[in-house]
């Protein structure tokens, strides 16, 4: 980032500003995007230092936006649908902008802005929580108006980028500083109490350990660890004081639903436990999808969920105006099963590119999106749409892997 300032690279600086704004000052995101678009267009015309860097996911993201736009055709609440479509504009704008890669710009020049933003985010959450004597998850909503799931997602991904940056020498940070920052950020992630992200973090740690064991100790030790890891995870979660309630509720929910799936909804009509509300919402969502396999139309989902909730007498769901809490069910209700399959293919394609490039940052980001999408509608809020689309497009165009960057430099004539 210092190099961008020294070179007066307004493209890189405006992109860095967009990353910071979209992380910690999200109500100004639209202005930051507009500034980046203007700078990009001027720089594209004046500097002529750009080369084509498009991949299939770039175009498929734009296709996803068109899928959503088509959902307006059979919507009964077009005004709401148009508002939601505005939120989805990032699916079109960012892939379009990142079809072109600027020569001389490196991933590790851009991404420090995200690290800085998360450092500010975690410190601000800590101070606000202590001063106002509220929990960190409440501080996230009150101070930044960011749902704790998104805050913990940002911090987790920033932490992983920091680790990869240290290993690849893309970021200048000492081992001591790395351990201090990662340790502090992990505490904040835990205090944000996003059960999904804590589970994801645990799975990611187990996968990394398994890969290292495969490489250094052989397949027998690696497979043995993978087989034992679910039991280790269960013991850790079950014996962590502030998570034991969530674990116990999850166990009871799974048991109830597995043994008596037909009676589960009726037996939990008045529950307020989030772990039990999700399966209820999933049941209602599946029923809606069965009735409308091609979707209810963009903007109509709340009315259909309220209708099914009213049918079963789950009246408190209407008060909360809850979404399906599953991105795949959400998109299936909005624009149909074809839209859901399209999203799955897009995410798997991105994961495939990350594996082929050995781009662990991109793989971590898309894996986090897929995992969290099982429990939250991650691509419904601006907090998720802008962040995931922006960071994925940056990774696709300015890959963090040294091997890929070397190829890009050769293509661009920089070496």
274 in a structural domain:
yes
Is 295 part of a structural domain of the chain? yes
Comparing CA positions, the residue from 150, 202, 209 lying closest to residue 369 is: 150
Q: Is residue 319 part of a domain?
A: yes
CA 238 to chain centre: 26
Instruction: Answer yes or no: is 62 within a domain.
Output: no
Q: What is the pLDDT of residues 382-414, one digit of tens each?
A: 999 999 999 999 999 998 664 555 455 444 444
Q: pLDDT over 90 for what percent of the chain?
A: 63
Return the pLDDT at 102: 93
Residue 240 pLDDT greater than 80, yes or no? no
Please answer whether residues 76 and 126 qualify as being in contact, where contact means their C-beta atoms are separated by less than 8 angstroms.
no
pLDDT at 415: 40
In Å, how far are 222, 259, 272, 359 from 269, measured between CA atoms? 45, 17, 9, 45
DSSP letters, 260-311, are: -HHHHHHHTTT---HHHHHHHHHHHHHHHHHH-TT-S-TT-HHHHHHHHHHH
- Mean pLDDT rounded to a whole number for the chain: 88
The pLDDT tens digits of the residues spanning 270-292 come to: 655 556 678 888 888 999 999 99
Asked whether residue 328 is domain-assigned, the answer is yes
Instruction: Return the residue matching tokens 């175009």.
Output: 59
80 within some domain: no
**How far is Cα 328 from Cα 366, in angstroms, rounded to an integer?**
14
Nearest C-alpha neighbor of 156 from the set 126, 125, 124, 196: 196
Give residue 17's pLDDT. Answer: 96
Exposed/middle/buried for residue 233 (C-beta within 10 Å: 0-12, 13-18, 19+): middle
In the prediction, which pLDDT does 405 show?
Answer: 53
pLDDT at 413: 44
Task: Select the more confidently predicted residue: 1 or 38.
Answer: 38
Instruction: Report whether pLDDT(175) > 90.
Output: yes
- Using alpha carbons, select from 351, 388, 329, 401 the residue that is nearest to residue 153: 388
Please give the tally of structural domains in the chain. Answer: 1
Please say if the pLDDT value at position 236 is more than 90. no
Q: Which residues of 55-72 are buried (b: 16+ CB within 10 A; e: fewer)?
A: bebbebbbbbbebbbbbb
Kindly report the three-state secondary structure assignment for every residue of 199-239. HHHHHHHHHHHHHHHHHHHCHHHHHHHHHHHHHHHHHHHHC
CB 386 within 8 A of CB 186: no
**Of 2, 360, 12, which Cα lies nearest the Cα of 157?**
360
Cα separation, 159 vs 174, whole angstroms: 14
Q: Is the pLDDT of residue 356 over 90?
A: yes
In a domain, 117, yes or no: no
Whether 130 shows a pLDDT value over 70: the answer reads: yes
Q: Could you tell me the residue range of the domain that residue 324 belongs to?
A: 244-333
In sequence order, the 6+-apart residues with CB closer than 8 A to the CB of 248 are none
Token code pair at residue 39: 């700078």
Q: Calculate ∠ Cα 236-241-242, nearest 5°.
A: 105
Residue 311 lies in a domain: yes
Consecutive H or E run containing 51:
strand 50-52
Query: Which residue carries 């009246």 as its tokens?
Result: 315
**What pLDDT, on a 0 to 100 scale, did the predictor assign at position 401?**
63
Q: How far apart are CA 394 and CA 401, in angstroms?
A: 12
Is the separation of the CB atoms in 396 and 58 below 8 Å?
yes
């Amino acid at each position: 980032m210092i190099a961008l300032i020294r070179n007066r690279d307004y493209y890189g600086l405006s992109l860095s500003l967009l990353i910071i704004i979209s992380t910690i000052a999200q109500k100004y995101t639209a202005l930051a995007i507009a500034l980046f678009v203007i700078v990009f267009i001027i720089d594209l015309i004046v500097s002529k230092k750009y080369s084509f860097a498009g991949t299939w996911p770039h175009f498929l993201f734009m296709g996803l936006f068109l899928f959503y736009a088509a959902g307006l055709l059979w919507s009964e609440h077009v005004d709401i649908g148009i508002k939601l479509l505005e939120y989805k504009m990032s699916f079109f704008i960012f892939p379009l902008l990142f079809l072109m890669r600027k020569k001389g710009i490196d991933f590790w020049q851009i991404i420090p802005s995200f690290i800085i933003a998360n450092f500010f985010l975690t410190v601000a959450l800590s101070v606000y929580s202590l001063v106002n004597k509220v929990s960190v998850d409440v501080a996230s909503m009150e101070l930044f108006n960011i749902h704790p799931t998104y805050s913990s997602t940002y911090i987790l991904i920033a932490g992983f980028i920091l680790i990869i940056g240290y290993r690849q020498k893309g970021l200048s940070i000492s081992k001591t500083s790395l351990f201090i920052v990662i340790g502090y950020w992990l505490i904040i992630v835990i205090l944000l109490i996003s059960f999904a992200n804590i589970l994801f973090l645990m799975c990611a740690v187990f996968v990394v350990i398994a890969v290292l064991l495969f490489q250094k100790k052989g397949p027998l030790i690696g497979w043995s660890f993978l087989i034992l890891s679910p039991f280790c995870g269960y013991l850790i979660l079950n014996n962590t004081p502030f998570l034991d309630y969530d674990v116990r509720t999850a166990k009871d929910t799974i048991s109830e639903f597995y043994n008596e799936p037909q009676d589960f909804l009726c037996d939990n009509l008045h529950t307020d436990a989030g772990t039990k509300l999700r399966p209820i919402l999933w049941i209602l969502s599946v029923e809606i999808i069965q009735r409308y396999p091609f979707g209810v139309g963009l903007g109509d989902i709340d009315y259909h969920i309220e209708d099914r909730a009213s049918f079963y007498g789950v009246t408190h769901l209407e008060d909360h105006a809850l979404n399906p809490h599953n991105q795949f069910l959400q998109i299936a209700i909005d624009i149909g099963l074809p839209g859901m399959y399209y999203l799955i293919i897009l995410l798997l394609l991105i994961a495939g590119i990350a594996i082929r490039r050995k781009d662990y940052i991109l793989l971590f980001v898309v894996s986090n999106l897929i995992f969290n999408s099982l429990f939250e509608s991650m691509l419904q809020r601006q907090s998720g749409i802008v962040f995931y689309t922006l960071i994925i497009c940056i990774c696709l165009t300015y890959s963090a892997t040294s091997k890929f960057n070397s190829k890009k430099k050769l293509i661009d004539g920089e070496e």
